[in-house]
Homo-oligomer: A and B are copies of this chain.
Amino acid sequence: MSEFGDAARGGLSPAQLENVLRDVGAARYHNRHPFHHQMTSGALSKGQMQAWALNRYAYQSVIPRKDAAIIMRSDDPAFRAEWRKRIEDHDGGDGWSGGIARWLKLATGLGLDAGMVKSEKFVLPGTRFAVGAYLSYCTNRTMLEAVASSLTELFSPVIIGERVPAMLAKYDYITADILAYFDKRPALASRDSDFALAYVMKHADNAEKQQSVIDALVFKCDVLWAMLDALAHAYGEKGNIPPGAFVPEAI
């Protein structure tokens, strides 16, 4: 499937499997993407930053549905209770007091209208299709692959650690309060990735299943990378915004 398409040949120990997964992250996680480098070096325009937040919102808004798709497929009440925490984190008690609401706060803190952001009407088709691919994947693939696709959370504390200080330092219109989403995420991501990794280690008990786990993480990295590619193409210097998508006041 990818350059990691043979990595489980012969079967791996749990430690070896974890090493391969971390190698996938080191090679493919979206903190290696040029758009992220532009963000952390202070090179994004406000319009590009707005476009990033608008499109990320569309990804975040699907996460509870993705997690519900995984819960739907589990006949283990303890697994369901643990995985349900992810939905609680994103929706909060009333739907609008969790991570999604904090992403909305980030987008509006950057100057976007809340109704426009929530409508998702001006999101890039490339974003929509990547997000839809993630939802379909977790609905249609094996349980093991669906759980494994969440393992990018192994790496999200690193990218948050790069992104937040850079955003605060290099963009004078960004304040700590609009970045509230990221305060809580590293701890939650570690809790989530610990659980998912333990599940994967327990259930990926042959080479074929281990390869499916590796492929699932590569797939998820493809989703995140494709979203940044779509942003970079649409809102880059040459400005190839597809018809119908968000047009910033100034790129």
Interface residues of A (CB under 8 A from B): 1-3, 5, 27-28, 34, 121, 124-126, 128-130, 132-133, 136, 218, 222-223, 225-226, 229-230, 232-234, 240, 242-244
Q: Are B244 and A2 in contact (CB under 8 A)?
A: yes
Of B34, B218, B229, the residue contacting A126 (CB under 8 A) is B229
Q: Are B244 and A234 in contact (CB under 8 A)?
A: no
Tell me the nearest residue of chain B to A32, going by C-beta: B243
Residues on the B chain within 8 Å of A242, using CB: 222, 225-226, 229
Q: Are B226 and A126 in contact (CB under 8 A)?
A: yes
Q: How far is the CA of A233 from the CA of B225 in the complex (A)?
A: 13
Q: Are B133 and A3 in contact (CB under 8 A)?
A: no
Q: How far is the CA of A233 from the CA of B128 in the complex (A)?
A: 17
Most buried by B among A28, A132, A242, A244: A244
Tell me the nearest residue of chain B to A133, going by C-beta: B129
Tell me the nearest residue of chain B to A134, going by C-beta: B129
Residues on the B chain within 8 Å of A226, using CB: 124-126, 129, 230, 242
Q: How far is the CA of A218 from the CA of B126 in the complex (A)?
A: 14
Residues on the B chain within 8 Å of A129, using CB: 126, 129-130, 132-133, 223, 226
Residues on the B chain within 8 Å of A125, using CB: 130, 222-223, 225-226
Residues on the B chain within 8 Å of A128, using CB: 133, 222
Tell me the nearest residue of chain B to A130, going by C-beta: B129
Evaluate whether A27 and B126 lie within 8 angstroms (CB atoms) in the complex, with A229-B234, A230-B229, A233-B229 already known: no
Least Cβ–Cβ distance between A173 and chain B, in angstroms: 28
Evaluate whether A3 and B233 lie within 8 angstroms (CB atoms) in the complex, with A132-B132, A133-B128, A222-B125 already known: no
Residues on the B chain within 8 Å of A27, using CB: 243
List 30 contacting pairs A-B, 8 Å CB cutoff, sorted by A.
A1-B121, A2-B244, A27-B243, A28-B243, A28-B244, A34-B240, A124-B226, A125-B222, A125-B226, A126-B129, A126-B130, A126-B226, A126-B230, A128-B133, A129-B132, A129-B223, A129-B226, A132-B132, A136-B136, A222-B242, A225-B243, A226-B242, A229-B230, A229-B233, A229-B234, A229-B240, A229-B242, A230-B230, A233-B233, A233-B240
